[in-house]
């Protein structure tokens, strides 16, 4: 399971909201909740963020760091972000077109239909 494709193999686009894309094959749903009622999570969904092409002034989420040939730019310390992560899930900050992570954080939950061993 990754955030590049849904369970039927369809590519997930940066900016797509996700919740049940992995339900039929993996029995998995995803939900998101911004901390303290912050963020924009329509229907409790997380949003796909492409770390290879950061948007929303979120170069800090780019992978790998620019010191390793990627788009990532960190604010503090020496760069350790040396691995390209592809698409990840975020809690969207507000209702706008470009994916932009919520500065206050929150919780992204993964719920399985059947118990996982």
Predicted confidence (pLDDT) per residue in 54-81, tens digit:
998 899 899 999 999 999 998 776 778 8
Place of tokens 């059947």: 114
- Per-residue pLDDT at 62: 93
Q: Is residue 8 part of a domain?
A: no
Count how many domains the chain has. 1
Average pLDDT over residues 41-47: 98
What is the overall mean pLDDT for the chain? 93
- Per-residue pLDDT at 80: 84
Q: Is residue 81 part of a domain?
A: yes
Handedness of CA 66, 70, 75, 77 (dihedral sign): negative
Q: Is residue 6 part of a domain?
A: no
Within 8 A by CB and 6+ apart from 28, the residues are: 1, 22, 110, 111, 112, 113
What's the predicted TM-score (pTM) here?
0.91
Model confidence over 21-33: pLDDT tens digits? Answer: 999 999 999 999 9
Q: Is residue 106 part of a domain?
A: yes
Q: Which domain holds residue 26?
A: 17-112
CA-based nearest residue to 108, from 53, 5, 28: 28
**What order of strands is seen across the sheet that includes strand 87-90?**
17-18, 46-50, 87-90
Contact (CB, 8 A) for 15 and 29:
no
Q: Is residue 63 part of a domain?
A: yes
Kindly state the percentage of the chain with pLDDT values over 90: 84
Q: Is residue 70 part of a domain?
A: yes
């Amino acid at each position: 399971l990754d955030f590049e494709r849904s369970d039927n193999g369809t590519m997930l686009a940066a900016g797509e909201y996700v919740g049940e894309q992995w339900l039929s094959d993996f029995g998995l749903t995803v939900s998101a909740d911004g901390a303290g009622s912050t963020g924009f999570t329509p229907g409790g969904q997380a949003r796909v963020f492409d770390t290879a092409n950061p948007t929303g002034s979120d170069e800090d989420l780019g992978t790998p760091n620019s010191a390793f040939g990627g788009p990532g730019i960190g604010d503090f310390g020496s760069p350790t972000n040396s691995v390209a992560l592809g698409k990840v899930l975020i809690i969207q900050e507000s209702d706008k077109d470009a994916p932009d992570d919520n500065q206050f954080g929150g919780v992204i939950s993964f719920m399985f239909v059947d118990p996982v061993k």
